[in-house]
Amino acid sequence: MWCSGQHVVFRRRRSVFDPHLRQSVQTQRKTPAEATNLHTVIKMAFIKEESEDLKIEDTFVVKHEDPQEQTELMVMKEETQDRNETQQKCQYDKHQDLTHDEKSLKKKCERIPTGERMYTCPQCEKSFRERQALEIHIRIHTGEKPFSCDHCGRRFSQKPNLKAHMSIHTAEKPYSCSECGKSFRAKKQLEGHTRVHTGEKPFACQQCGKRFAYQAAFRTHTRTHTGEKPFTCEQCGKSFTHSEYMKAHMRVHTGEKPYTCSQCGKTFAHRTNLYVHRRTHTGEKPFTCTQCGKNYTCKNSLNCHMRTHTGEKLFKCEQCGKSFTHSEYMKAHMRIHTGEKPYSCPQCGKRFAHISNFNCHMRTHSGEKPFTCDQCGKSFGNKNTFKSHMKLHTGEQR
């Protein structure tokens, strides 16, 4: 081995004077010619060995770099590796971001229906996501009712409404309240009823803050602010804020009274009137005046009574200027000016402007005297006559 500045060379040489080789030469004494030939062979072997040493030298050469240069090369190599790793990481992160964006977009596309568009009503400009919903809505304006009940012939604009109606004929009420046991034909009716027990009123008016338990009542209320009355009677042109109000109004023209009292057989055009009438049999008066404690069978009667305490008279006659606490009182008063007498006695034909006078007259034929004095036991068919009699006992009238 030898060192030469920049190189370290490892050599492996077999000397021609090797003891084994020398022994082999000495044991074989040759002639001069053979010696010459042997010398040539040895020389060729030596040359061959030198050649092999050169090859070995080339193979085992290790270049000695300058320490500073080698450090710089190592730093450059590390930087290159770091740069490559950074590029690979950026490419991976970019791929991950693209994948995440693709997934988000896919989810968004799944949430938004493909080719979604809004369908707008040409009459009221209300918009719908589905064309079928718009077609159903259009029936409000056209009055189309394609679904008919096979039992009574009543028609509906939507098939679910027809199904709910059919339960009237079958008397089926599969939805029962767990609190009071009351049954309902539709699930939505039960959901609305449960708010009676919970007191929940989730629908709030943004203009006046009034709250409602039912969405239908809330919608009807909002029309009091907008003045909208989309339901119009075809016979007299009167408009209403709710379809049910118009249906009830139509009975004025048809004379229909579909609600019958099971105790006395009296019929009514409106369901609420039947409910109020039933309280005359039960004696129930659930509405109480907070000032004088007087009880009433319906809320309208209480509201009318409260105006006697406040002195408020909202209803004014346009002809004579007289004011009234209740609309019915004003309507009865207007017959003085018009001369209208809509109540006719079926027995004698006498006509009356007020229903109270008509009822009092009918007792003259029936002999009924429902007003009895608790002091002397005398009975009267007229309420005003009874009041005059009571003053005799109290001394108010002489």
pLDDT of residue 288: 92
Non-local CB neighbours of 2 within 8 Å, separated by 6+ positions: 9, 11
Non-local CB neighbours of 158 within 8 Å, separated by 6+ positions: 136, 139, 147
- Tokens standing for residue 172: 């089926």
pLDDT of residue 62: 38
The model's confidence at residue 116, banded by pLDDT at 50, 70 and 90, is: low
pLDDT of residue 85: 55
Give, in order, the Cα–Cα distances in Å from 48 to each of 34, 53, 361: 21, 9, 157
Q: For residue 128, give the H/E element and its range.
A: strand 127-128
CA 241, CA 88: separation in Å to the nearest integer?
70
Of residues 93 and 301, more confidence is placed in 301
pLDDT digits (tens, 9 = 90+) for 132-163: 888 888 888 888 889 988 888 888 888 888 88
CA 357, CA 353: separation in Å to the nearest integer?
8
CA 281, CA 300: separation in Å to the nearest integer?
19
**Percent of the chain at pLDDT exceeding 70:** 70
Q: Which CATH architecture has domain 341-398?
A: 2-Layer Sandwich (3.30)
pLDDT of residue 350: 92
Tokens 């009351």 label which residue? 182
Tokens 């991950």 label which residue? 96
CA 251, CA 243: separation in Å to the nearest integer?
13
**Domain residue ranges in the chain:** 341-398
pLDDT of residue 29: 47
pLDDT of residue 82: 55
Arithmetic mean of pLDDT, 55-69: 42
| Interior/surface letters 78-90, b for 16+ CB within 10 angstroms, e for the rest | eeeeeeeeeeeee
pLDDT digits (tens, 9 = 90+) for 248-286: 889 888 888 899 999 898 898 888 889 889 988 998 989
